[in-house]
Chains A and B, each alone.
Chain A
Amino acid sequence: MALSKLQLRIVQSPVLRYGLAGASFGVALGLALLAQRYGFRNVEVPLFLFAVAVTTWYAGPGPAALVVVLSIAFFDYFFTEPRYTFFVTSSDIPYFIVFISFALLVARFSAVRRRVEAQLLQARDKLEIEVAERTQQASLLNLTHDSIFVRNMDFLITYWNLGARELYGWAAEDAIGKHSHELLQTVFPAPVEDIHAELLRTGRWAGELKRTTAQGTTVVVAARYALRRDEQARPVAILETSNDITQRKRREEEIQRLNQELSKRSMELEATNKELEAFAYSISHDLRAPLRHMAGYTELLQKKASSALDEKCNHYILMMLDSAKRMGNLIDDLLAFSRIGRAETQKTLFSLTQLVREALSEVRQDADGRNIAWKVGSLPDFYGDRSMLRLVLVNLISNAIKFTRTRTQAEIEIGCADGNSDDLVVFVRDNGVGFDMKYVNKLFGVFQRLHDSDAFEGTGIGLATVQRIIHRHGGKVWAEGVVNGGATFYFSAPNPRGHLWKP
């Protein structure tokens, strides 16, 4: 490129061009005169022609014309008869024609040469630009993390980028010229003929391939084929872009495996639930029947024989009836408890204030004849299963009534404690017999009781039921108590996302 610029400048500078014309003509004239002086004949014409040729070739038409005119003039002056005049004879004319023709001929050659030279230069420049672009593209292809390689229709690799080297472990010099699928031990997701047919039909194909790297490890790649055709639309090469999805694949498989396990577990759970349901049903039916019979016959016995029996025997009968009744209550409570675990929760947004009112009216008869100071604070709206929450409140409030029985002035408070922004906390507080914090963990267990049943009756399922319901609502239950200093039961639940309209 630099050379062609230099040549263009010589040709285009007028000073140099005419200088060259003057110089070549001067040299030719000098040499001709010198030859004439020493008696050499007929050298002047070739010398002048040489000057014309040099000037025409290198300096272009203007200086060439000048040299032709000068050559004709001085040839006429020095070398044709009559000498030392510019007088032209007919014998001079052929010389003049020779000079002019020669100049035209050389000019013509020169023009052709120049054109060819220009074309050559142009072609070379184009080539250089293309080479630069290609080099840049190739280095760009090397920048990508995707593996890119090109193979011809015989599956021989012709291009191999850095990404391919990183992914498959083969260097470009090892890979180029090799059969791609042999080198990479490709495992296809479909018959190879089908893939090839699709590639030829649509020009592209995409799918997951399993390959083996130079290190012998297996990789899963997401590959995309693109078919390259020549001007005659004949397929010539296949460009393959692929990236490593081994990790993703592994994770997908792991997720799939976990999902399968999960569905298996939930099926097992469902089966267990069904069994439990059958079990509960059986308890409710088969366990109650003999119990009812025991109670029934005992009562009949009591009716028929009580007058004949002594006080002790009558007491035994009473105890039998009492136990049967208690067993019946236990079964009922246990069934209710198991039903809570199985029942679907039907959640709605409702007013806790209203629900507390309902719960209070439900337990009113427990409080008959008692002196209880009720204190109900302002309560929030609650999102949950209304009937289950009602059971929670009834349980907690009837507990409070029960365990304040020994107080002449019972105090029961129902309110809302400060929770955080995510949870609301509701409590039921009493000034009853309380409990020892040592046993706080036993409070919510099934059949766990902290008081003997003579003092406070109950089956020991109420608080377990409360806990189960609250857990099903995503909340927690806990309690604080002091022996003979009252107890507070708390439950939390996620704050409802909305609010009820309040008149």
Chain B
Amino acid sequence: METMNKLGRILLVEDDPKDVELTLTALEEYNLANEVIVARDGEEALEYLYSRGKFKTRSSDNPAVVLLDLKLPKVDGLEVLKQIKSEEKLRMMPVVVLTSSKEEKDMVASYKLGVSAYVVKPVDFHEFVNAIKELGVFWAVINEPPPGSVRK
């Protein structure tokens, strides 16, 4: 498929396995799930981004987009975001906060740290699928990622 070739890699940072499953299902529905790396907490996400630990041998290019939950074990989402934005090699990489929380202070903090988008996961699955699809299509297909990102 034409689109398949242009798909960017997505880093999904999400601790809840059900959310992971539903997100992957939503991405699959639109054939966007072939290049999704799942990190189950903030530390794992940072290990991936810095090519540390079990990701030592990963290819050196950055994902096209990071879908980041805020409430995460070990290192929380805002801290991950902060580290991404303060690292020269990573700061240009688009990060989308994908969270359950509509809390204003989270939103403000995220935007202050330079997040690309802030999406509240809709309760309605239909809307959720739509949101994930649109996110996947926009960031992994439509958006031209910064140099150094992988695009097949």
Contacts and interface: CB of A to CB of B under 8 A. Distances in A.
A107 interface: no
Interface string B17-36: 01100100100000000000
Contacts of A292: 19, 22, 100, 121-123, 125, 128
A285 B71 contact: yes
Contact of B102 (A291, A295, A299, A335): A335
A328 B125 contact: no
Contacts of B16: 289, 293
B124 A284 contact: no
A325 B103 contact: no
Interface residues of B, number: 19
B124 A325 contact: yes
Interface string A116-135: 00000000000000000000
A285 B100 contact: yes
B100 A281 contact: no
B101 A284 contact: yes
A228 interface: no
B41 to A, nearest CB: 16
A324 interface: yes
A286 B18 CA distance: 13
Contact of B124 (A281, A295, A335, A339): A295
Nearest to A280: B103
Contact of B123 (A285, A291, A335): A291
Contacts of B102: 284, 332, 335
A177 interface: no
A297 B23 CA distance: 11
Chain A interface mostly? helix
B144 to A, nearest CB: 31
A289 B19 contact: yes
Given A289-B19, A296-B128, A300-B25, A325 B100 contact: no
Interface residues of A, number: 23
A285 B121 CA distance: 10
B71 A299 contact: no
A345 to B, nearest CB: 15
Given A296-B128, A300-B25, A325 B101 contact: no
A145 interface: no
Contacts of A332: 102
A281 B125 contact: no
Nearest to B23: A296
Given A285-B71, A289-B16, A293-B18, A299 B100 contact: no
A295 B125 contact: yes
A449 interface: no
A288 interface: yes
Interface string B76-119: 00000000000000000000000111111000000000000000
A288 B101 CA distance: 8
Given A281-B103, A289-B19, A325 B71 contact: no
Interface in A257-295: 281, 284-286, 288-289, 291-293, 295
B126 interface: yes
Given A293-B19, A296-B22, A288 B100 contact: yes
Contacts of A297: 18, 22
Contacts of A300: 22, 25, 125
Contacts of B99: 285
A325 B125 CA distance: 10
A284 B102 CA distance: 7
Given A285-B101, A293-B18, A293-B19, A299 B125 contact: yes
Contact of A325 (B19, B22, B123): B123
Interface string A465-497: 000000000000000000000000000000000
B124 A328 contact: yes
A275 to B, nearest CB: 15
A422 to B, nearest CB: 34
A299 B123 CA distance: 11
Nearest to A326: B123
A243 interface: no
A306 interface: no
Nearest to A302: B125
Contact of B103 (A284, A289, A324, A328): A284
A448 interface: no
A128 to B, nearest CB: 88
B107 to A, nearest CB: 12
A288 B16 CA distance: 12
Contacts of A295: 123-125, 128
Contact of B22 (A286, A291, A293, A335): A293
A324 B100 contact: no
A296 B22 CA distance: 7
A186 interface: no
A142 interface: no
5 contacts: A292-B123, A295-B123, A296-B22, A324-B123, A332-B102
Given A291-B123, A297-B18, A299-B125, 4 more contacts: A285-B99, A296-B18, A300-B25, A325-B123
Q: 8 closest Cβ contacts across the A-B interface?
A: A328-B123, A299-B125, A296-B125, A293-B18, A296-B22, A288-B100, A285-B100, A295-B125
